[in-house]
Chains A and B, each alone.
Chain A
Amino acid sequence: MNALYVADGAPPSLPGITEAAPTLDWWLLAPYLVVFGAGVLAVLFEAFVPKRSLRPVQITVAAAALIAAFALIVLQVETVGAGGAMIAGGVLAVDGTVLFLQGTIAVLALVSLMLIAERRDGRDAFSAQAATVPGSEEERRHILAGSQHTEVYPLVLFAVLGMLMFPAANDFLTMFIALEVMSLPLYLLCALARRRRLFSQEAAVKYFLLGAFSSAFFLFGIAMVYGYAGSVNFAAIRAAVESGGAEIFAQGDGEPLLIMGIGLVAIGLLFKVGAVPFHNWKPDVYQGAPTPITALMASCTLVAAFGALLRVFFVPFGGSVEIWEPMLWTVAILTMVVAAFIAVTQRDVKRLLAYSSVVHAGFILTAVIASSTEGLAGAMFYLAAYGFTTLGAFAIVTLVRTRDGGQELGDLDGWAGLGRRSPGLALALSLFLLAFAGIPLTSGFIGKFAVFEAAVAAGATPLVVVGVLSSAVTAFFYVRIIVVMFFRDSEGEGPTVARAGVLTGGVITVGVAATLALGIFPGPVLDNLLPSSETGGEPAAVMIYQVTDGGTTD
């Protein structure tokens, strides 16, 4: 906070500078430290461990770090309690909600890691040597030599670290750092596809450019909000919003700053969740990136980004709902309608899943707009349910390949007759698609019901009507995939289906199990893990916004 101290004198109401270093609660910091430490260790291993044993070592380290992080998060539930807790002088704040999101991220990342680690004929999904020119002699040499990028694993760990911090951040600067820690490794990972490398690199560059563009909006927004509230701390901003801004705006003329701040910050976050019109990157990047990385982004990144979005709109901006509500209404409607429409004519499975992810982001936005505990719980359930389902779906995408056994077969027409050739796989994918469509007895139905119910309760019925109509449109293209797989004969040779290895098979099994379990017996999760009106009537009471011991706000 010291760095933010304004030279010409801070408003008196701001927390004063504390000379003493903040006390660090190592226990609460442990999950971040474990993931970060493992990442650093993995980089060291890159340098010192012999090439032959590098891959198993890296996978072990990454898996162990994620499992340990998950275990720590679960153990912290007791420590954190109902009131939540501050970490490192209020830079991070965790409570039941944040821990649920972090736990979800850890599990989803672990499952994604299984996809990332999967090898087929001794080759994983990543380029042998990313620095070589695609198609060059040098590249061929590396392929023949069996080179591989085991740096993938530390990169994933760093990204996961960012994701864990993103929803826990308790001030805008920490949130921005988390955003970058999460994004930078992902930009790199997107460029590492083994097949169609130019395509992959193009996707990565686009993602990087647009990500930087959106970060600029976000950062500019932070500056505006700081100008308005005189602080970047969420609780302090909330207090400032409720009292009409910092004291220099005694005449009430500070609002334009706040409005600009909300808008610019929102753009940065809406880009990350992929809401229309900030969604353009999603189809291109999802298609170009190595499929295991796409799976990681579609599940974990979405959870983290929505965690941060929920936090920002519920805590610092929770007192100015009437300002941002029309804006989010517009974005949610655009997202649900435009993405659903575009998806109808998509021919590529990965692009289709990308647009589907955009539509789902629109559905979850309705829960944000509800701005209630119910909405928060609905969004949390939706994120967890969608994460598992989408992981399963992308796992299946990695298995369906062109006849020559080379690259993944994205073109939907090629999937005809899959139902006859691999009925188990086709059935699993059908289940995932039905869950996306929100058919009862799948997790997707409960998720949709929960967010729409919350929106209706908050008086956003028109939004829900749009949502249901959009669901109907999306159901069309989900069912079309099922029809193609089961009821159309393949022209020519049709796809080969790679045998699912233990890891990919495991991912699909986890996806099926979670989709069914959360669909048929959602009770335990709904009742025990999610906040309810018993926990607190206002979401802000659930997502904590108290300031640290030392700091005070008025």
Chain B
Amino acid sequence: MAVTQHHAYLAAEPVVATAADSAVLSNAWLLIALPLVGAAILLLGGRRTNGWGPLLATALPVASFVWAVLVLFDLLGRSGAERSVSVPVYEWFAVESFSARIDLLIDPLSITFVLLITFVGSLIHVYSLGYMAEDPEKRRFFAYLNLFVAAMLVLVLADNFVLLFLGWEAVGLASYLLIGFWQYKPSAATAAKKAFLINRVGDIGLLIAIMIMFTVLGAVSFSDVFAAVPGASDGVLLAIGLLLLLGACGKSAQLPLQAWLLDAMEGPTPVSALIHAATMVTAGVYLIVRAGPIFEGAPVAQLVVMTVGAATMLAGGIIASAKDDIKKSLAGSTMSQIGMMVMAAGLGPIGYAAAIAHLVTHGFFKAGLFLGAGSVMHGMNDGVDMRRYGGLASKMPITFATFGLGYLAIIGVPLLSGWWTKESIISATFGYGGTVGLVFGSLVVLGAALTAFYMSRMVFMTFLGKKRWDEGVHPHESPVSMTAPMVALSIGSIALGGFLVAGDRFAAFLQPVTGAELPHFTVGHAFTSPYGIAALVVLVLGVALAWAMYLRKPVPSTAPKGNLVTVAASNELYGNEINEGLFMRPGQVLTKVLLVVEDKVIDGAVNGIGTGVRDSSQGLGRTQTGFARTYALTMLIGAVIVAATLAVRF
């Protein structure tokens, strides 16, 4: 009766899920259920859970992480082709040809995300125990964090686009709740609303893409959709690809839907680290890699993906170079790094492993950098202006050390995590070949130069140079609950990249999903190839330029007037103005027009229908006289109707 989700192996199609056959896998729903239960207990339990709630909420993602590790080992015990496992969770009902059900898909790609989400998520829960210790609404905060973790896991574990969309919307909701967590601040409330609205634009894209899949391809599950791709027309694939990209742009803050991310920094810093650096904003990259077969069938869409990614990479780098707010500068950096991943994902199979590997290492060092920024803010009375920092290295040695390691990783100092994964992207892009490879490869190198510059600027302005603090600020190191996660993340910043990339370990792990040939990345090649050398040269140049501007010369405590470029950059390249011009004003005009239409046309129609229904109801009600004789007459009329309709033949 139930419609089976497993489909015959298609030559071009690597995703063939086998059934879950071990206790670890068949109970994989626990991964999601644990944090979800935590959110439910904390939200429904109310004030009673104030005391132990946050601790429970911290323990549950840790438990999910442990389970995810068990799942990983289970997968590693299988051959590559058997690592895609379908886990049936719940069949709501099946009526003949239709089955409504929830299945999870566990494969190397999804388990990578699960491990990233639960590991970084757990650390950030621990960090929040210290960071939010004094907040009266701590319980609500932890409930939302748990909700986010659960929603994000739904997003990456879904085996079809509809469930993915459910997770997609739920992370949006959690993000909204957490950005606006301090809703008494008008700026936070506005930022939350802005993030929500801009994300709606992207979500509509994703939703329409799913509708097209359903109507044209007749399926929404990954395996069925990808199986239908070879038979679909180019136009359909292009449309689906571009709409998926629109969805990815909204969630991952890519041009032109990037404006919300910088404002989202109004949320508590752990939120920025978890949601707006390590996990949720990378969902767009996940979507593009997951929907790889669609994009591979639509080369034009791939080119658009690469262009959007590269443009965002440069725009993010420029914005990050000009912002004096440490979190906004980091947010610009996030945009830039995700842009790089999106671009790599647009390359197709050759870039998938590199994009995801960079996503994972970025998750570690960027979360570490955000936590470091939070630690600095914690010691600086929540000040965020880097012009009022300076010379903090001696006051916060642990923060400095961990932040410094994250810094060295992100700018790509050889043999640290970021270097491995960024070099992978650079070599994959040049390896793509042709003019396209050359142009985008050069742009990535340029992006790397920008990264070196803005990150050096940030470190120099914050930790080195002279102290520029206000009176009454007493910088101090943060408690262990905050520094321990930072230390854990910095270990990832050092070693994870090498572990993943050396010997193509991660690419080989992902191969059954991405279907890519292995990149054969070697250290020697990265040092001797022209682009490897170029990357090292721009790294040195970027750091040197930052040194010349922000360490050699004293940093003024108010921003200089600056030239056209810096003004534009500090205004986020006028992204807000562009959004206002393109969306908001026309939107407002549209709203006004619609208001009139609503008032006159729709309301009129609705009221008309309402009145019509009521009048006809009263009219028909009059047949209910209460007299048995009338009823008998009605039945007789009914008999005539029955006779008439029996006599008529169609």
Q: Known A-B contacts: A217-B639, A259-B646, A457-B97. Give 7 more (CB < 8 A).
A: A266-B642, A267-B635, A327-B645, A345-B614, A449-B93, A522-B93, A526-B1
Q: Say yes or no: A341-B613 contact (C-beta < 8 A), given A210-B635, A259-B646, A280-B631.
A: yes
Which label, helix, strand, loop or mixed, suits the secondary structure of the B interface? helix
Q: Assess whether B617 is in contact with A453, with CB atoms less than 8 Å apart.
A: no
Cα A266 to Cα B94 in complex, Å, equals: 32
Q: Assess whether B93 is in contact with A344, with CB atoms less than 8 Å apart.
A: no
Complex interface bits, A448-491 against B, C-beta within 8 A gives 1, otherwise 0: 01100100010000000000000001000000000000000000
Q: Smallest CB–CB gap between B235 and chain A, Å?
A: 29
Cα A109 to Cα B314 in complex, Å, equals: 73
Nearest residue (CB) in B for A323 is: B646
Q: Assess whether B642 is in contact with A210, with CB atoms less than 8 Å apart.
A: no
Cα A185 to Cα B623 in complex, Å, equals: 28
- Give the number of residue pairs across the A-B interface with Cβ within 8 Å: 113
Q: Is A29 an interface residue (CB 8 A)?
A: no
Q: Is B12 an interface residue (CB 8 A)?
A: no
Q: List 5 contacting pairs A-B, 8 Å CB cutoff, sorted by A.
A: A277-B634, A277-B635, A277-B641, A345-B614, A345-B618
Q: Is A366 an interface residue (CB 8 A)?
A: no
- Enumerate chain B residues within 8 angstroms of A374, measured Cβ to Cβ: 95-96
Q: Assess whether B638 is in contact with A278, with CB atoms less than 8 Å apart.
A: yes
Q: Is A532 an interface residue (CB 8 A)?
A: yes
Complex interface bits, A237-264 against B, C-beta within 8 A gives 1, otherwise 0: 0000000000000000000000110111
Q: Is A45 an interface residue (CB 8 A)?
A: no
- Enumerate chain A residues within 8 angstroms of B628, measured Cβ to Cβ: 205-206, 209-210
Q: Is B51 an interface residue (CB 8 A)?
A: no
Q: Assess whether B624 is in contact with A342, with CB atoms less than 8 Å apart.
A: yes
Q: Number of contacting residues on A, CB 8 A?
A: 55
- Enumerate chain B residues within 8 angstroms of A263, measured Cβ to Cβ: 639, 642-643, 646
Q: Smallest CB–CB gap between B91 and chain A, Å?
A: 6
Q: Is A281 an interface residue (CB 8 A)?
A: yes
- Enumerate chain B residues within 8 angstroms of A329, measured Cβ to Cβ: 645
- CB < 8 Å neighbour of B617 from A210, A267, A341, A520: A341
Complex interface bits, B66-103 against A, C-beta within 8 A gives 1, otherwise 0: 00000000000000000000000001111111100000
- Enumerate chain A residues within 8 angstroms of B95, measured Cβ to Cβ: 374, 378, 449-450, 453, 526
- Enumerate chain B residues within 8 angstroms of A523, measured Cβ to Cβ: 91-94
- CB < 8 Å neighbour of B96 from A210, A276, A457: A457
Q: Number of contacting residues on B, CB 8 A?
A: 37
Cα A267 to Cα B637 in complex, Å, equals: 11
Q: Is B589 an interface residue (CB 8 A)?
A: no
Q: Is A78 an interface residue (CB 8 A)?
A: no
Q: Is A271 an interface residue (CB 8 A)?
A: yes
- Enumerate chain A residues within 8 angstroms of B650, measured Cβ to Cβ: 326
Q: Is B559 an interface residue (CB 8 A)?
A: no
Q: Assess whether A278 is in contact with B624, with CB atoms less than 8 Å apart.
A: no
Q: Assess whether A326 is in contact with B646, with CB atoms less than 8 Å apart.
A: yes
Q: Smallest CB–CB gap between B162 and chain A, Å?
A: 14
Q: Assess whether B642 is in contact with A267, with CB atoms less than 8 Å apart.
A: yes
Cα A458 to Cα B88 in complex, Å, equals: 31
Cα A473 to Cα B612 in complex, Å, equals: 12
Q: Smallest CB–CB gap between B635 and chain A, Å?
A: 5
Q: Say yes or no: A213-B620 contact (C-beta < 8 A), given A526-B93, A533-B96.
A: no
Complex interface bits, B614-636 against A, C-beta within 8 A gives 1, otherwise 0: 10111011011010101110110
Q: Is B11 an interface residue (CB 8 A)?
A: no
Q: Smallest CB–CB gap between A214 and chain B, Å?
A: 7
Q: Is A331 an interface residue (CB 8 A)?
A: yes
Q: Assess whether B642 is in contact with A331, with CB atoms less than 8 Å apart.
A: yes
- Enumerate chain B residues within 8 angstroms of A338, measured Cβ to Cβ: 620
Q: Smallest CB–CB gap between B621 and chain A, Å?
A: 5
Cα A345 to Cα B642 in complex, Å, equals: 28
